[in-house]
Chains A and B, each alone.
Chain A
Amino acid sequence: MPLTMNDKTPVWRRREPLAQRLIWLGYFLSLLLFLLCWKIVSDNTIWEFLADAHIQAASLIGRMIPPQWSITGSLLLPLWDTINIATVGTALGVLIAFPLAFLAARNTSPHPALRAFALAVIVSSRSINALIWAILLVTIVGPGLLAGMIAIALRSIGFVGKLLYEAIEEIQVTPVEAVTATGAGRMQILNYAVLPQIMPAFAGITVYRWDINIRESTVLGLVGAGGIGLQMNAAINNLAWGQVSMVFVLIFATVILSEWVSAKVRHAVI
């Protein structure tokens, strides 16, 4: 009863007393877990380093301002590489994710075993960051753009695949029924009843992932997978913080631009 009597005055409460206590217990246990985790983190931290953190921060920011504008010209080609990594990576990822999504969606999957396989691929791809794929691929295909492109593609498969198969599972069944009633074959049903329903979502998801990939591809160079990250890594290793902040400015501008493009396209299709 959310209404309790307190000295014959009814007092309204939001929850039953038992539910309220259980919620408090949950918060209390979380707090204990937090303190335990904090202790482990704190034991592994060298707190002496923290004493001069504000001095370090001030000197870091001091050396970053102003950005070294003069190197902008030499950064444009790496920036173009970064955009290529993101774009080609997205395209490759989407090419693989598209059929995979049809295998993974409950209503279009040809066989439960194939569905389980497709879901496993999607989860594995989603769990592992593009940067980890990049480290691996740099040892396999060598440093350069290709490693970055494949890394971005491998990470995109899971993202695009998951959102797309959820979109396929949410389609209306009436058009599918109508097309099936005409005696259409399996591929014709997919082509004329399913595909038109998911195309707007598909375009939106692709552009959204492209936008995320632009961000991710800016740092792939840190592990040698090409793009503007290579310049950033070199500048960090030389402690040339003015150049680092110049790279940041360019990344910031590119990310804002890609976000704007992505928002425009998604508004247009949805």
Chain B
Amino acid sequence: MTDSSVAGATRISAAKNGHWRPLPMVSSAALRWGLNAAVLVYLVLLYFSVDINWARVAQGMDRGLAFMASFFTPDFVTRGGEIAIGLRESLTMTFVATVLGIAFAIPVGLGAARNIAPAPVYYFCRAIIALSRTFQEIIIAILFVAMFGFGPLAGVMTLAFATVGFMAKLLAEDIEDAQRDPMEAVRATGASWLQWINYAVQPQVMPRLIGLSLYRLDINFRESAIIGIVGAGGIGATLNTSINRYDYDTSAAVLLVIIGIVLCSEYLSGYVRKWTA
């Protein structure tokens, strides 16, 4: 008998005597206690290495309450012009960047699928994906603002760059999971490479690609709200200014607008996904 079956038999006889306990989540006892000990050690280290200025925190509580209260009195009007301009810039940046990003992500994604790309192309495309996924949008935005100057173009480039990594990775995984039979069948008809991709691969990945594109549109909008902080255009600049002026009523209005748009796009994408699937 193996260890686990001995343990299982002991558990069953214990249960018959009315001493039943649920199975532990981590089955190996050593690993279980090791994890607990590691958490304990980490907490001790944390206690000695993190210093927090509690006096400053207590001071800020009034401001925190003022901010929360401002969600009930959002001010859309006073800075209405700035909010509208920022929002228009964010939305246009988002759409342009998503379209450009997907246009570049499709060839990269095809190249990064091991089952249809030769090894050198595969490693090259995987390197592009790794590069694009490692760094936060905001870091890329800082570099692009330094290169292209302030304004929405730097933002579009940033979002498009991040979109390439995200979409290409998921597309490549989807292609790698695609069924082989249709691919072989189409190839057996003597189809050219493009026909093969178009008739055997594309129909298999298209529903997911549409769903992911909408999801990425949503992410890009949310990201467009922060890259404005470093000068890459969009509603982030408006938001940042209002927070720095302690104009919480306007900040709350901007946040509510962002939440509203994300909510709408989530409903919309759920609807479109149901319709394409």
Contacts and interface: CB of A to CB of B under 8 A. Distances in A.
B134 A129 contact: no
A203 B56 CA distance: 35
B99 to A, nearest CB: 5
A27 to B, nearest CB: 11
A14 B57 CA distance: 64
B233 interface: yes
Contacts of B143: 60
B263 interface: yes
Contacts, number: 146
Contacts of A34: 95-96, 99
B89 A218 contact: no
Max chain A Cβ within 10 angstroms of own Cβ: one of B46, B226, B230? B226
B136 A218 contact: yes
Contacts of A142: 53, 56-57, 59-60
B60 A49 contact: no
A126 B259 CA distance: 9
Interface size class of A (residues with CB under 8 A): 35 or more
Contacts of B88: 40
Contacts of B167: none
Interface in B48-90: 49-50, 52-53, 56-57, 59-61, 63-64, 67, 88-89
B222 A199 contact: no
B243 A136 contact: yes
Contact of A123 (B142, B236, B262): B262
A139 B197 CA distance: 53
Interface string A194-230: 0010010001000000000001101100110000000
Contact of B225 (A80, A129, A251): A129
A60 B50 CA distance: 35
Given A60-B147, A123-B262, A128-B255, A139 B136 contact: no
Contacts of B139: 219, 232, 248
Nearest to B95: A37
Contact of B222 (A57, A127, A145, A216): A127
Contact of A50 (B42, B99, B149): B149
A192 B22 CA distance: 8
A202 to B, nearest CB: 9
B251 interface: yes
Contacts of B42: 87
A46 B149 contact: yes
B124 interface: no
A97 interface: no
A140 B139 CA distance: 25
B52 to A, nearest CB: 5
Interface in A5-56: 14, 30, 33-34, 36-38, 40-42, 44-46, 49-50, 53, 56
A41 B149 contact: no
Interface in B155-190: 156
Contacts of A132: 225-226, 236, 239, 255
A255 B134 contact: yes
Interface in B122-148: 134-136, 138-139, 142-143, 146-148
A222 B135 CA distance: 14
Given A34-B96, A44-B152, 10 more contacts: A45-B152, A128-B259, A139-B60, A140-B63, A142-B57, A142-B59, A219-B139, A236-B142, A248-B139, A252-B135
What 4 A-B pairs come out closest when comparing CB atoms?
A49-B149, A142-B56, A37-B92, A127-B262
Interface of A: 14, 30, 33-34, 36-38, 40-42, 44-46, 49-50, 53, 56-57, 60, 80-81, 84, 87-88, 123-124, 126-129, 131-132, 135-136, 139-142, 144-146, 192, 196, 199, 203, 215-216, 218-219, 222-223, 232, 236, 248, 251-252, 255-256
Interface of B: 22-23, 25, 42, 46, 49-50, 52-53, 56-57, 59-61, 63-64, 67, 88-89, 91-93, 95-96, 99, 134-136, 138-139, 142-143, 146-153, 156, 199, 203, 222-223, 225-226, 229-230, 233, 236, 239-240, 243-244, 246, 251, 255, 258-259, 262-263, 266
11 contacts: A40-B88, A44-B152, A50-B153, A84-B49, A123-B266, A124-B259, A129-B223, A135-B243, A140-B60, A192-B22, A236-B142
